[in-house]
Structure 1
Amino acid sequence: MADNISNPEGKGPAGGWGSVKSIFRIYGESSPPPAFLETLSRQNKPGGFMCVSCAWPKPKNYHPFEFCENGAKATMWDLTNSRCGPDFFKKHTVEELKGWKDHDLEMTGRLTHPLRFDHATGQYVEATWNEAFQKIGATLKRLEKKSVVFYSSGHAGLEASYLYALLARAYGNNNLPQSSNMCHETTSVGLTKVIGSPVGTIVWEDLEKTDAFFFFGQNPGTNSPRFLHPLQEAKKRGAKIVTFNPVIEQGLVSFVNPQNPLDMVTGNETKISDQYLQVQAGGDVAAMLGICKTVVEADDAAVAAGRARVLDVDFIAEHTTGFDKFIECVRDTPWSDIVRESGLTEADLREAGATYIAAKRVIGVYGMGLTQHSQGGLNIAMLVNLLLLRGNIGREGAGCCPVRGHSNVQGQRTVGIAEKTKLIPMDKLKELFDFDPPTEDGTHIVDAVKGMMAGTIRATISLGGNLLRAVPDQVDMERVWAEQELTVMVSTKLNRSHLFPGKEAWILPCLSRTEIDMQATGNQSVTTEDSFSHISGSIGKRTPASKQLQSELAIVTGIAKATLDHNPKLKWDEWTRDYSLVRNLIEATYPDDFKHYNQRMFEPGGFYRGNDAHDRKWNTEEKKAVFTTPHQLNALSFEDAPGRFRLITMRSNDQFNTTIYGYSDRFRGIEGTRDVLLMCPEDIAAAGLREGQVVSLVSDFEDGKHRELGGLTVRAHKLPRGTIGGYYPECNVLNAIDHHDEMSKTPASKAIPVKIVSH
Structure 2
Amino acid sequence: MSGPKDDPKIEEYSGPSGGYGSLGSVARKLISEHVPDAAITLGYQNKPDGFMCVSCAWGKPAKPLPFEYCENGAKATAWEVTRKRADQKFFETHTLSELRGWLDHDLEEAGRLTMPMRWDPETDRYRPVAWETAFAEIGQELRALQGDPDQTIFYVSGRASLEASYMFQLLARMYGTNNLPDSSNMCHESTSVALPESIGVSVGTVTLQDFETTDLMIYLGHNVATNAPRMLHQFQDAKKRGAGIISINPMRERGLERFTDPQSPKQMLTGGETVISDSILQVAVGGDLAALTGICKALVEMDDACQDVGKAGATDREAILADTDDDGGFSIKAGAAASKARRVLDHDFIAEHTSGFEAFADYCRAADWLQIEQISRLSRDQLEAVAKQYAEAEKVMCIYGMGLTQHVHGTETVQMLVNLLLLRGNIGKSGAGICPVRGHSNVQGQRTVGITEKPELAPLDKLKELYDFEPPRHEGYTTVTGCEAMIEGKVKAFIALGGNYTRAVPDIPRVEDAWGKLRMTVAIATKLNRSHLVHGEIAYLLPCLGRIEVDVQASGPQAVSIESSLAQFHGSRGRVTPASPELMSEPAIIAGIAAATLPDNPHVPWAAWTGDYSKVRLAIEKTWPATFGGLDAHMFDPGGLTRPIAARERKWNTRSGKANFLLPTEMFGGAAERYGEEGVLQLTTVRSNDQFNTTIYGYHDRFRGVNGTRMVVFMNATDIAAIELVDGDFVDLSCAIEDGHERVVQALRVVEYDIPQGSCAAYFPETSPLVPLGHHDIQAHTPAYKAVPVRVKASAAKPARAE
- TM-score (norm. length: structure 2): 0.93
- Shift of the 79–11 alpha-carbon distance from structure 1 to 2, 3 Å rule, reads farther
Q: For 2:461 and 2:662, locate their aligned partners in 1 and report how far apart those are by CA, in whole Å.
A: 34
Shift of 1:296: 1.4
Equivalent of 1:675 in 711, 716, 719? 711
Shift of 1:541: 1.8
Shift of 1:427: 1.3
Equivalent of 1:646 in 660, 682, 690? 682
Equivalent of 1:354 in 388, 401, 407? 388
Tell me which residue corresponds to 2:752: 716
Shift of 1:258: 0.6
Amino acid at match of 1:271: V
Tell me which residue corresponds to 2:234: 230
Shift of 1:95: 1.0
Secondary structure, counterpart of 1:259 in structure 2: coil
Q: Does the Cα contact within 8 Å between 1:511 and 1:552 map onto a contact in 2?
A: yes
Amino acid at match of 1:710: Q
Residue 111 (structure 2) pairs with residue 109 (structure 1): yes
Pairing 1:624-643 to 2, within 5 Å after superposition? 624-637=658-671, 638=673, 639-643=675-679
Deviates further, 634-643 or 465-474: 634-643
Pairing 1:16-27 to 2, within 5 Å after superposition? 16-27=19-30
Tell me which residue corresponds to 1:295: 299
Shift of 1:10: 2.6
Secondary structure, counterpart of 1:593 in structure 2: helix
Q: For 1:90 and 1:285, locate their aligned partners in 2 and report how far apart those are by CA, in whole Å.
A: 53
Amino acid at match of 1:676: V
Residue 497 (structure 2) pairs with residue 463 (structure 1): yes
Tell me which residue corresponds to 2:329: none
Q: For 2:307 and 2:474, locate their aligned partners in 1 and report how far apart those are by CA, in whole Å.
A: 53
Tell me which residue corresponds to 2:49: 47
Shift of 1:8: 8.3
Q: Does the Cα contact within 8 Å between 1:11 and 1:668 map onto a contact in 2?
A: no
Tell me which residue corresponds to 2:122: 120
Amino acid at match of 2:49: G
Shift of 1:150: 0.3
- Shift of the 551–11 alpha-carbon distance from structure 1 to 2, 3 Å rule, reads farther
Tell me which residue corresponds to 1:620: 654
Amino acid at match of 2:476: G
Equivalent of 1:738 in 754, 774, 786? 774
Tell me which residue corresponds to 2:319: none
Shift of 1:334: 2.3
Q: For 1:183 and 1:631, locate their aligned partners in 2 and report how far apart those are by CA, in whole Å.
A: 22
Shift of 1:676: 0.5
Equivalent of 2:100 in 59, 84, 98? 98
Equivalent of 1:206 in 202, 205, 210? 210
Tell me which residue corresponds to 2:308: 304
Amino acid at match of 1:485: R
Pairing 1:332-351 to 2, within 5 Å after superposition? 332-351=366-385
Tell me which residue corresponds to 1:3: none
Q: For 1:313 and 1:670, locate their aligned partners in 2 and report how far apart those are by CA, in whole Å.
A: 50
Q: Does the Cα contact within 8 Å between 1:650 and 1:727 map onto a contact in 2?
A: yes
Secondary structure, counterpart of 2:285 in structure 1: coil
Tell me which residue corresponds to 1:4: none
Tell me which residue corresponds to 1:184: 188
Secondary structure, counterpart of 2:767 in structure 1: helix
Tell me which residue corresponds to 2:400: 366
Q: For 1:621 and 1:459, locate their aligned partners in 2 and report how far apart those are by CA, in whole Å.
A: 38
Tell me which residue corresponds to 1:423: 457
Encode CA deviations 1:348-402: one digit per residue, 9 max, x unaligned.
Answer: 1111111111111100010000000000011001100100000000101000000
Pairing 1:747-758 to 2, within 5 Å after superposition? 747-758=783-794
Q: For 1:9 and 1:755, locate their aligned partners in 2 and report how far apart those are by CA, in whole Å.
A: 26
Q: For 2:374 and 2:350, locate their aligned partners in 1 and report how far apart those are by CA, in whole Å.
A: 30
Amino acid at match of 1:749: Y
Q: For 1:93 and 1:514, locate their aligned partners in 2 and report how far apart those are by CA, in whole Å.
A: 30
Q: Does the Cα contact within 8 Å between 2:51 and 2:575 map onto a contact in 1?
A: no
Secondary structure, counterpart of 2:164 in structure 1: helix
Residue 295 (structure 2) pairs with residue 259 (structure 1): no
Q: For 1:293 and 1:658, locate their aligned partners in 2 and report how far apart those are by CA, in whole Å.
A: 39
Q: For 2:303 and 2:219, locate their aligned partners in 1 and report how far apart those are by CA, in whole Å.
A: 24
Q: For 1:403 and 1:630, locate their aligned partners in 2 and report how far apart those are by CA, in whole Å.
A: 22
Q: For 1:164 and 1:238, locate their aligned partners in 2 and report how far apart those are by CA, in whole Å.
A: 46
Q: For 2:576 and 2:245, locate their aligned partners in 1 and report how far apart those are by CA, in whole Å.
A: 40
Q: For 2:11 and 2:115, locate their aligned partners in 1 and report how far apart those are by CA, in whole Å.
A: 47
Q: For 1:235 and 1:575, locate their aligned partners in 2 and report how far apart those are by CA, in whole Å.
A: 47
Pairing 1:330-729 to 2, within 5 Å after superposition? 330-637=364-671, 638=673, 639-729=675-765
List gaps (5 residues or longer) in structure 2: 1-9, 311-337, 796-803
Shift of 1:11: 3.8
Q: Does the Cα contact within 8 Å between 2:260 and 2:271 map onto a contact in 1?
A: yes
Q: For 2:167 and 2:182, locate their aligned partners in 1 and report how far apart those are by CA, in whole Å.
A: 15
List gaps (5 residues or longer) in structure 1: 1-6
Amino acid at match of 1:125: R
Secondary structure, counterpart of 2:490 in structure 1: coil
Amino acid at match of 1:124: Y
Shift of 1:425: 1.1
Q: For 2:28 and 2:683, locate their aligned partners in 1 and report how far apart those are by CA, in whole Å.
A: 31
Tell me which residue corresponds to 2:87: 85
Amino acid at match of 2:35: P
Secondary structure, counterpart of 2:626 in structure 1: coil
Encode CA deviations 1:553-575: one digit per residue, 9 max, x unaligned.
Answer: 11100100000011111111111
Shift of 1:28: 2.2
Q: For 2:634 and 2:431, locate their aligned partners in 1 and report how far apart those are by CA, in whole Å.
A: 25
Deviates further, 407-416 or 425-434: 425-434
Shift of 1:305: 2.2
Q: Does the Cα contact within 8 Å between 2:218 and 2:246 map onto a contact in 1?
A: yes
Shift of 1:19: 0.4
Q: For 1:351 and 1:449, locate their aligned partners in 2 and report how far apart those are by CA, in whole Å.
A: 44
Encode CA deviations 1:141-180: one digit per residue, 9 max, x unaligned.
Answer: 0013110000000111100100000000111111100110
Q: For 1:157 and 1:37, locate their aligned partners in 2 and report how far apart those are by CA, in whole Å.
A: 25
Q: For 1:391 and 1:150, locate their aligned partners in 2 and report how far apart those are by CA, in whole Å.
A: 41
Q: For 1:519 and 1:166, locate their aligned partners in 2 and report how far apart those are by CA, in whole Å.
A: 21
Shift of 1:195: 0.8
Residue 247 (structure 2) pairs with residue 243 (structure 1): yes
Runs of 4+ in 1 over 4 A off after TM superposition: none
Q: For 1:9 and 1:246, locate their aligned partners in 2 and report how far apart those are by CA, in whole Å.
A: 18
Q: For 1:275 and 1:575, locate their aligned partners in 2 and report how far apart those are by CA, in whole Å.
A: 52
Aligned residues: CA RMSD: 1.0
- TM-score (norm. length: structure 1): 0.98
Amino acid at match of 1:608: T
- Shift of the 503–612 alpha-carbon distance from structure 1 to 2, 3 Å rule, reads same
